[in-house]
Amino acid sequence: MKREATGNALADAAFALALEKGLDGFVVEDVVQRAGYSRRTFANHYSCKEEAIASAALIFNGADEIKEWIAGLNENVPPLEILYHLMKMQLTADHFVKLQQLVSLSKQYPSLEPYILSGLHRLQISAQETISNLSHGRYPEGYTHLLVGAVYGAVLPLLDGSLNVLLPGQTAPEMPEAVTLDHYLDDMFGYLRNGF
């Protein structure tokens, strides 16, 4: 847990510096000074500042809540419903804003993109493994891959702003024709439940 906390502190420091100064406005030494660790500690966690920045936006702080929810889960709940609830729990306002900020930074600094894609891929694989484990072999092997891929594919346009969705913390006057994130998720999962 201490290792994870150290990695998170370094990632948060790198992310804050990227937002304040841009990717070219700081070096790894600035990250370790802000976080209060050594350069060697940074190297034990991240290969470069881009990896640390991407990691900060992909860190999810509600893992204990999710573990508790999973522990009380009825084993007959379909994978789609499990994924629906997991997405609702993970897409908090703070997490979503960080993800959007990361995508915005990557438009200015393309060197971030491989780290974002790698991080999102890890999240997707984790979701696939979780859904597969909770399905207890009741569905074909490719089902969870297809399901999780469809959901992650539907969330990506929210991060880059290409869909008119009112995100947590935004008000309707800012985006008068937008639907809420909850409404969007309900529609998206409705399509997956009922077909298009």
User: Whose structure tokens read 């399905």?
Assistant: 135
Q: Which helix (H) or strand (E) holds 179?
A: strand 179-180
Task: List the structure tokens of 116.
Answer: 């974002």
pLDDT tens-digit map of 17-59: 999 999 999 999 999 999 999 999 999 999 999 999 999 988 8
Neighbours of 7 (CB within 10 A): 21
**8 A C-beta contact, residue 10 and residue 4:** no
pLDDT tens-digit map of 54-84: 999 888 777 778 888 888 888 888 889 988 8
Question: pTM here?
Answer: 0.82
